[in-house]
Each structure stands twice: as C-alpha cells, then as structure tokens.
C-alpha cells in the first residue's frame, strides 16, 4: 500500500487567492488543523490553523500575507510505514502527496490512514489474535510463521511494537483461525511468553486497543 492509494478526495487545496477566514471554515468542516496551498500543480506549502488565527487581516487573500509555510510531503510511491513515521515526526493532521516531478497530487488525512491501516492489519477478517513478548535478539518471523502454519493456520496480519529504552518487543499476530488453542500450546512448548490472546468475538476490542496505542504514539 503506497501513498497514492491513500489520497483523500475530500480535501481541496487552497489557492493564494483564498482568504484566511475561508481556510478556517474549511478546516473546521474537515476537522483538520492544516491545509495545502497549491498554485496550479505546484505545492507551495502547508498553512496551519494557528498561522491563520495570527493574521492581522484574516479576510484578505492568503497571498497578501507573509506566511511561514512548511513543506512536508511524501512521494506517491512511498509505503504506509514511511507515511506513519512522517506523521509521527511532524505532528500533522494531513500529509501532502507529490509525484516524482514534484507535482501536487492530493493529501492523506489521519482518518484515511487509520482506515487503510485497518485493512493492512486484517482487522475485518474473522480469526483470533495472539500477543507475544520477547527480546529483539530472539525475534524470528520465520520461526513464528512456522509455529502458526504447523497448526494449519495462517498469518493475516502482524504488528510489532517496540519500547523506548528497552530491548523488549511486543508482537501482535492476527490469525485466520477462530480456535487458536493449538497455536497457543505450540508457542508455550517453544517457551514463548504469550501475554494475551483473543477469540473472534473479542477481536474488535483488541484491534481498537492497538489503534488507540498507535494514535497515542502519533500524538494525535
């Protein structure tokens, strides 16, 4: 899944002829705190809600003001994990997408990112969830997959959480099996530390918890 697959159709970029008041109304409607300013296909930068609120004459065109525009963006072929990293580091409510000729294509909103990350994590597929904890030196995706597949199950999604100032990893695994007891028994036999497991009827709660953790990490 790349940036071009995540572009929101609901966000129309501002022009320099738009006023600050118009921009604030659009931000309120879209529940965002940034909007892109575009001249034809040229991305000029992002204007923030706080920048506009600080304007002396907000009903004048934005082009009349000396705005401190920032220019964070991703290219259309960058993957979803790079996009999450940039959202986290820049603390934005949306992220512009450009092609490799630096032409503006659109923006990715946080809601669009979460919705598509849910698909990537197989949140809507029936099955169980197992969460294991281990040292990063002991992490072997091949071994984890072998344990699961030896019980006629498949990995639908896998999410790795690391912790600051720690070598500990938490691995959340979504399986295509509702009855995950045989997989759990094999993990125990291989001395894995299973911290939690969930059946199908509990899946929505654990997936919500993982997304809440992601949103807290992104500070949104």
Residue spans per domain, the chain: 3-118, 121-218
Alpha carbon distance 180, 122 (integer Å): 16
What is residue 186's predicted lDDT score, i.e. its pLDDT? Answer: 96
First to last CA, the chain: 22
What is residue 200's predicted lDDT score, i.e. its pLDDT? Answer: 57
Ranges of the chain with pLDDT below 50: 201-203, 218-220
Phi, psi of 159 (to 5 degrees): -130, 125
Summarised one tens digit per residue, pLDDT across range 114-167 is 777 665 555 556 788 899 999 999 999 999 999 999 999 999 888 788 887 889
- Domain 121-218 CATH assignment equals 2.60.40.650: no
Looking at every residue in the chain, the average pLDDT score rounds to 84
What is residue 220's predicted lDDT score, i.e. its pLDDT? Answer: 44
Return the sign of the alpha-carbon dihedral for residues 100, 101, 102, 104: negative
Pick the CATH number of 3-118 from 3.40.50.620, 3.40.50.300, 3.10.580.10, 3.10.105.10: 3.10.580.10
Q: Tell me which residue has tokens 């969930």.
A: 198
Which is it for strands 168-175 and 129-135: parallel, antiparallel or unpaired? antiparallel
Are residues 176 and 129 in contact, defined by beta-carbon separation less than 8 angstroms? no
Quote the pTM value. Answer: 0.61
């Amino acid at each position: 899944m790349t940036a071009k697959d995540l572009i929101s159709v609901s966000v129309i970029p501002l022009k320099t002829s738009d006023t600050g008041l118009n921009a604030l109304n659009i931000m309120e409607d879209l529940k965002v705190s940034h909007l892109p300013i575009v001249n034809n296909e040229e991305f000029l930068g992002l204007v923030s809600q706080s920048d506009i609120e600080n304007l002396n004459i907000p009903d004048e065109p934005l082009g009349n003001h000396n705005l401190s525009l920032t220019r964070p963006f991703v290219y259309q072929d960058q993957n979803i994990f790079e996009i999450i990293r940039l959202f986290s580091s820049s603390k934005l409510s949306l992220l512009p997408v450009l092609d490799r000729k630096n032409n503006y294509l659109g923006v990715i909103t946080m809601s669009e990112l979460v919705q598509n990350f849910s698909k990537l994590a197989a949140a809507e597929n029936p099955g169980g969830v197992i969460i294991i904890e281990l040292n990063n030196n002991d992490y072997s995706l091949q071994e984890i997959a072998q344990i699961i597949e030896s019980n006629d199950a498949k990995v639908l999604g896998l999410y790795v959480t690391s912790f600051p100032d720690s070598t500990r990893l938490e691995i959340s695994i979504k399986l295509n099996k509702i009855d995950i007891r045989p997989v759990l028994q094999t993990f125990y036999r291989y001395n894995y530390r299973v911290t939690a497991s969930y059946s199908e009827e509990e899946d929505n709660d654990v997936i919500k918890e993982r997304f809440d953790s992601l949103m807290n990490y992104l500070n949104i």
